[in-house]
């Protein structure tokens, strides 16, 4: 009998590859943080013994969810400014609040809160964009979650950097520090075409090519943004970025609610990635990403929550349902974005966008044991006819009971294992009192 570190028996294993497959009464064997086998439960019991064995007969076991666009520390601004259009929300409320409060401590505490929420929601990997990315990286590594840390670039001075030279200098330092890290990766994160000058965008393209890392940017988020940009540059933001060489397989274009057919064809031609944030787009009335058309063109579309200040949660199970329903409503086609494809967007497509599909995003032998157990014996998912569709359309994050990242259990029977919850609550209360004063 083969000895392994962990053996998880589940009512259903949903590997994502191949898409739509549901394996009933199966087990996943884990050794040294990697999946070493996926097999029927009776065979697993005969072939493996484990240091840690988990029997989850009423659970669906899925790959860890990948939140492909976050501003993690903005959890501390959740509910701070609501029911406003994007530019008013940013310019009159969020940016002034950030100028007043953002600090290393703000980012560290806000990130801890975000990671706690994400783990409880089944998220094992997040792609972030915010100030003091060194703090975000430190906290993510400390808590054991997988992360892609955005090397923020923006034209205006902040508490993090006073000018473009300092932004790039600090970006290079963080890139070098985390190069080869087992959980933390990096991506260049120029905020948006309207907030980063052409010279800096060119420098991002050059450095991303040298370092072979993705580029994570807000793009075509609102009609107003695209119109203003066109009036100034006589071309769309996407076309301008293409002239600069940024539109490629490295590009993660976030929001993309305003895409012409020509825009879509360019994205397809360049093999760029779209990050869809449906709930944030809905709340800010930014528009609708044409997900069904993009998928029909075989463009890689992943899912993100955006920050908690504009969503107002970091719940990828909820984001999946919203994405699926919105695609149907916008396209007028009830078959648009079926449940299996939605789950792929929240897992494997995110991994592909972040160039880590060989490590995570699906359950396959040799991949990292990034796993999430969802309790399907819950009134909201009963009676259970199809675990995959009911995972997307009926389940909620409160049904997530256990989470593993690289084989390490970070959520055990709904309890966080890498965090002092009472200490974090004290810090949140402290920030709430300061910001509200």
Q: What is the pLDDT of residue 87?
A: 83
CATH of domain 65-353: 3.20.20.140
Q: Which CATH number fits domain 2-63+367-416: 3.40.50.300, 3.40.228.10, 2.30.40.10, 3.40.50.2300?
A: 2.30.40.10
CA distance 319 to 386: 19
Indicate if the pLDDT at residue 95 is higher than 90.
no
A 10 A CB-CB count for 377 gives 12
Identify the residue with better confidence: 89 or 178: 178
Determine the average pLDDT of the residues in 209-230.
96
Determine the average pLDDT of the residues in 229-246.
97
Write the pLDDT tens digit of every residue in 372-391.
999 999 999 999 999 999 99
pLDDT band at 90 (very low <50, low <70, confident <90, very high): confident
Give the chain's mean pLDDT.
97
Write the pLDDT tens digit of every residue in 348-360.
999 999 999 999 9
Write the pLDDT tens digit of every residue in 33-73.
999 999 999 999 999 999 999 999 999 999 999 999 999 99
Indicate if the pLDDT at residue 134 is higher than 90.
yes
> Which letter, b or e, does each residue of 352-373 get, where b requires 16 or more Cβ atoms within 10 Å of its Cβ?
bbbbbbebbbbbeeebbbbbbb
Domain boundaries defined on the chain = 2-63+367-416, 65-353
Q: What is the pLDDT of residue 102?
A: 95
DSSP 8-state symbol, 90: I
Q: What is the pLDDT of residue 328?
A: 97
What the block records as the tokens of 371 is 């796993």
CB 376 within 8 A of CB 61: no
Q: Distance of CA 80 to CAs 75, 101, 311, Å?
A: 10, 13, 12
pLDDT band at 85 (very low <50, low <70, confident <90, very high): confident
CA distance 102 to 64: 30
Write out 350-362 in H/E/C secondary structure: HHHHCCCCCCCCC
Q: The pTM is what?
A: 0.97
Indicate if the pLDDT at residue 436 is higher than 90.
no
């Amino acid at each position: 009998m083969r000895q392994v570190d962990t053996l998880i028996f589940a009512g259903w294993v949903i590997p994502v590859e191949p898409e739509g497959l549901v394996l009933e009464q199966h087990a996943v064997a884990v050794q040294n943080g990697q999946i070493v086998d996926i097999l029927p439960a009776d065979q697993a019991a005969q072939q493996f013994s484990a240091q840690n064995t988990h029997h989850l007969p009423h659970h669906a076991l899925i790959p860890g969810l990948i939140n492909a666009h976050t501003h993690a520390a903005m959890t501390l601004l959740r509910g701070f400014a609501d029911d406003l259009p994007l530019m008013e929300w940013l310019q009159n409320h969020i940016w002034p609040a950030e100028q007043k409060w953002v600090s290393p401590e703000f980012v560290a505490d806000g990130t801890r809160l975000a990671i706690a929420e994400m783990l409880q929601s089944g998220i094992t990997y997040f792609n972030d964009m915010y100030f003091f990315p060194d703090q975000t990286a430190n906290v993510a590594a400390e808590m054991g979650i997988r992360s892609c840390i955005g090397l923020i670039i923006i034209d205006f001075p902040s508490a993090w950097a006073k000018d473009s030279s300092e932004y790039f200098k600090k970006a290079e330092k963080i890139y070098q520090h985390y190069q080869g890290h087992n959980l933390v990766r990096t991506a260049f994160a120029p905020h948006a075409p309207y907030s980063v000058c052409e010279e800096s965008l060119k420098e991002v393209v050059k450095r991303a090519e040298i370092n072979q890392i993705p580029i994570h940017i807000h793009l075509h988020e609102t009609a107003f943004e695209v119109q203003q940009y066109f009036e100034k540059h006589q071309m769309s933001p996407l076309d301008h970025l293409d002239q600069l060489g940024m539109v490629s397989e490295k590009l993660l274009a976030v929001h993309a609610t305003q895409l012409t057919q020509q825009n879509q064809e360019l994205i397809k031609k360049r093999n760029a990635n779209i990050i869809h944030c449906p709930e944030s787009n809905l709340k800010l009335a930014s528009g609708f990403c044409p997900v069904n058309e993009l998928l029909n063109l075989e463009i890689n579309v992943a899912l993100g929550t955006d920050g908690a200040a504009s969503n107002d949660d970091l719940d990828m199970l909820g984001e999946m349902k919203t994405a699926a329903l919105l695609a149907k409503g916008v396209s007028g086609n009830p078959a648009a974005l079926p449940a299996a494809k939605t789950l792929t967007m929240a897992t494997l497509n995110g991994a592909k966008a972040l160039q880590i599909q060989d490590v995570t995003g699906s359950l396959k032998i040799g991949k990292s044991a990034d796993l999430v157990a969802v309790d399907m014996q819950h009134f909201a998912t009963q009676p259970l006819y199809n675990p995959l569709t009911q995972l997307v359309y009926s389940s909620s994050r409160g049904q997530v009971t256990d989470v593993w990242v690289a084989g390490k259990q970070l959520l055990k029977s709904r309890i966080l294992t890498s965090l002092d919850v009472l200490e974090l609550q004290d810090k949140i209360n402290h920030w709430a009192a300061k910001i509200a004063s």
